[in-house]
Amino acid sequence: MKNIQAQESVLELIGNTPLVKLNHITSGMKGNFYAKVEAFNPGHSAKDRIALYIIDQAEKKGILKPGDTIIETTSGNTGFSIAMVSVLKGYKCILAVSSKSSADKIDMLKAMGAEVHVCPAHVAADDPRSYYEVAKRLHTEVEGSIYINQYFNELNIDAHYHSTGPEIWNQTNGQITHLVACSGTGGTISGTARFLKEQNPEIKVLGIDAYGSVIQKYHETRELDKEEIYPYRIEGLGKNLIPTATDFDKIDRFMKVTDEDSAHTAREIAQKEGLFVGYTSGAALQGVKQFSDEGVFDENSVVVVIFPDHGSRYMSKVYNDQWMEQQGFMDEETRLHSKIQYVK
């Protein structure tokens, strides 16, 4: 057929996500603020980038063969991206998921045909029930399987070095002064930072961490302090271990944000900017607010904040008034159900 303009598959839609100026929620803050909106990937998150890149590399090296099984540890987004790529490339997919993951995410994984093992969230990383250990065990039990292991896979960093970093540099015409990103596995912030700092070492890279995570303390002391660990609600942010996919030398500072502030900021982004983003996006912008309060930015700052995923994955959590009330987070200004009027 001639002159049909179409992509061969959704995989060709991964990357080249838009940079959107934040005009309202940053009002009163010094600087120019832009969001890298990763929900425009076909799997609605930044994790599409690493799923495709790591699987492509495994195929090129002959590690992954037709009919093999891909196993991974995930809070949900990476799993969905791997399941999507697996469907199109003909692989089986088994995912070990944290029980902290929203019901929306788990249902989406099942819809994509993945075999899902839900593991308790609040156990030590080396506990045999943790999603890290369950994935390792499944890898030893399932013949013809590979374990992506995103927390300890250098390719996680490489994926963003070769895509997210160059995109942001080109989209800002090299004018970016600050990068702000959440740190979970650390791949997004590390790979993007590596590329950007190669172009301009003066660019400041600011990481966002959660209360209950060890990442910020490790960055400051290079010590794993288990006293820092306690349960928190944000998915895909922070960790109770130190991922080698985090290049701490490329990150200038970390800022911790609370579950509650991050939830309200996610809602605020939707209501002020029209961007329906996820919990970690709320955390990222909450970090921007806190850095701004400290005077980190000035009028000439060009700040790019990465919004990792889409709000549809948090309908049972951040965008659910009942869940917000159960957490003690409810704020009358952001209550959703009060804006619905039922006509009888």
Q: Both tokens of residue 29?
A: 């803050």
| Parts of the chain belonging to CATH 3.40.50.1100 | 10-45+160-322, 47-154
| Whether 217 is catalytic | no
pLDDT recorded at residue 124: 87
DSSP codes of every residue in 69-134: EEEEEESSHHHHHHHHHHHHHT-EEEEEEETTS-HHHHHHHHHTT-EEEEE-SSS-TTSTTSHHHH
Q: What is the pLDDT of residue 337?
A: 62
Give how far Cα 258 sits from Cα of 72, 161, 181, 225, 246, Å: 28, 29, 15, 19, 21
Q: What is the per-residue pLDDT across 86-142, written as a single tens digit (0 to 9) for each? A: 999 999 999 999 898 888 888 999 999 999 999 998 888 899 999 999 999 999 999
Residues 209, 211, 216, 218: is their CA dihedral positive or negative?
negative
pLDDT of residue 303: 99
DSSP strand pairing (145-147 vs 115-119): unpaired
Is 94:117 a contact under the CB 8 Å cutoff?
yes
What whole-number distance in Å separates Cα of residue 70 and Cα of residue 207? 30
pLDDT for 139-168, tens place per residue? Answer: 999 999 999 999 999 999 999 999 999 999
Q: Which residues contact 323 (CB under 8 A, 6 or more apart)?
A: 316, 317
Instruction: Please identify which of the residues 2, 36, 47, 226 carries the catalytic annotation.
Output: 47
The torsion of the CA quartet 213, 215, 220, 222, rounded to 10 degrees, works out to: 110
Structure tokens at 123: 């156990």
Handedness of CA 56, 150, 127, 77 (dihedral sign): negative
For position 343, what pLDDT does the model report? 87
Find all residues with CB under 8 Å of 149, minimum gap 6, and list them: 72, 73, 135
Bridge partners (DSSP) listed for residue 97: 74, 118
**CATH 3.40.50.720 describes domain 10-45+160-322:** no
How far is Cα 199 from Cα 250, in angstroms, rounded to an integer? 13
How confident is the model at residue 127, as a pLDDT? 94
Phi and psi of 71, rounded to 5°? -115, 140
CATH topology of domain 47-154: Rossmann fold (3.40.50)
Report yes or no: 26 and 272 within 8 Å, Cβ to Cβ.
no
- Which pLDDT belongs to residue 339? 67
pLDDT of amino acid 296: 99
Run means of pLDDT, 10 residues per run, the chain, 344 residues: 90 98 97 99 97 97 95 90 96 93 88 94 90 95 95 96 99 99 98 99 99 97 93 92 96 98 97 97 99 98 98 94 93 68 80
Please state, in angstroms and rounded to a whole number, the distance separating the CA atoms of residues 246 and 188: 9
By the 8 A CB rule, do 112 and 80 touch? yes
Q: What are the start-end ranges of the E strands in the chain? A: 19-21, 32-37, 69-74, 92-98, 115-119, 145-147, 178-182, 204-210, 253-257, 302-307
